[in-house]
Every structure is written in C-alpha cells, then in structure tokens.
Amino acid sequence: MRRIIFLGPPGAGKGTQAVELAKARGLLHLSTGDLLRAAVQAKTPLGVEADRYMREGALVPDDLVIRMIAERLRSPDAQHGFLFDGFPRTIAQADALAKITPVDHVLFFEIPEQALMERLTQRRVCPVCGTVYNLTTNPPKRHGICDREGATLVQRNDDHPDAVRTRLKAYADKTRPLLEYYGSRGQLRSIDATGSPAEVAERIRAAIP
C-alpha cells in the first residue's frame, strides 16, 4: 500500500510520470485537473462552477476540490494505494487530506521556471486517451495526431500564455508553501524534473524504490 503525492509547478511533467508510475505500481492515479476537466465536460454542477476558475488559470476553491477528493477516496479502488497528481495545491487542502489519510511519499518535481512556459505552450493532448505530447521534445509520429488513438490532438484551453502566467503565479503563491509544509514533516523528496520523460522516470524509480 503506497500513498504518494507528486508536487511541482504546472508543466513539470507530473501527469506524464504519474500515468507511468501508477501503471507500474498498481496505484490509483488521481489527477484533480483530469477529474475537474471531466466534470466540466459533463456539465455537472461542480464542472460548471469549476470552469470559471480553470479557464483563467486560477485555482478552484478549496471546498469544492476537497469534497471531490474525499468522495473519490471512499471508493473501493482507492483502498490499495493512490498517487495524487495536482493535489494538494494549498495548505488548506493538505490539512484536509491529512485528516482523511496519511501519505508515505511526497515527491517534488524540481525544474527552472523558464522551462515551464515553453513546456506548457508546446503541450498538446489526445482528447480520447489523454496522452500528453510536446511539439518540440516529444512530438507524435504524425503531425497533430495521437500515436495510440489516431485522434486529432488539442491544446488545453488553459495552456495559452495568459492563463499560464496566472497558473504559475497561483503555484508560487499558494502551492510552493507546501514544500515547507511537507519538508518540515520530513516527508519531502526532490527529483530533477528536467530532461526527457525516460530520464525523469528513472530518477523517480530511484527516489521511490
């Protein structure tokens, strides 16, 4: 039973690595960004509310995110361990999580801020399977087409420069304090998140044997 948190700025590669690690270790991958985007698409009351914030790159209010996660953690598939990607993102969320369950590892994706704008604006995703590409460093075999699904790749609507700036600021103001939060509890490990997905995956394997 492993309970892992991936912490780091948007564009650090948490989602890409989370998919691989969750598969390799049999963990439930919980991305609050993916859960919220699914709610937006399904036009649930949560989705309609969250959409207003997400479009601009602002964080969705804590109470909405915490309720969504608390509910998700009650389901049977979360009882064998989980990997959080994009949660917690504020001290209030970390406090709420601590009341629900302990965590075993918090892995911080360390990456220079200059690399992030470029990674985010070059990102394209498959609308069917969610595979993430980068136009420069990790392009699909056929331009604009998912290798797995053959679907036309899309750009997330918060990956344009204005929303990216807001997201980086939200990270600096609200999420970065979690380094101190988990660091002071002796739970934080850092990995170098620069380089190719394969290189980063190898560092993660070494950090969480």
**Catalytic positions, written as ranges:** 14, 89, 123, 156, 167
Task: Point out which span in 82-90, 130-138, 139-147, 186-194 binds ligand AMP (CB under 6 A).
Answer: 82-90
Please tell me whether residue 57 binds ligand AMP under the rule CB under 6 A: yes
Site for ligand AMP in 99-158 (CB under 6 A): 158
Task: Point out which span in 19-27, 51-59, 186-194, 195-203 binds ligand AMP (CB under 6 A).
Answer: 51-59
Site for ligand AMP in 161-180 (CB under 6 A): 167
For the bound state, the minimum distance from the C-beta of residue 84 to ligand AMP, rounded and expressed in Å, comes to 9
Alpha-carbon gap, residue 174 to 169, rounded angstroms: 8
For the bound state, the minimum distance from the C-beta of residue 188 to ligand AMP, rounded and expressed in Å, comes to 18
In terms of CB distance, is 13 or 86 closer to ligand AMP? 86
SS (H, E, C) the chain: CEEEEEECCCCCCHHHHHHHHHHHHCCEEEEHHHHHHHHHHHCCHHHHHHHHHHHHCCCCCHHHHHHHHHHHHCCHHHCCEEEEECCCCCHHHHHHHHHHCCCCEEEEEECCHHHHHHHHHCEEECCCCCCEEECCCECCCCCCECCCCCCECECCCCCCHHHHHHHHHHHHHHHCHHHHHHHCCCCEEEEECCCCHHHHHHHHHHHCC
Please pick, from the candidates 46, 54, 97, 200, the single residue that binds ligand AMP as defined by CB under 6 A. Answer: 54
Task: Point out which span in 31-39, 100-108, 179-187, 199-207 binds ligand AMP (CB under 6 A).
Answer: 31-39
Site residues (vs ligand AMP, CB under 6 A):
10, 32-33, 36, 53-54, 57-60, 65, 86-87, 89, 93, 158, 167
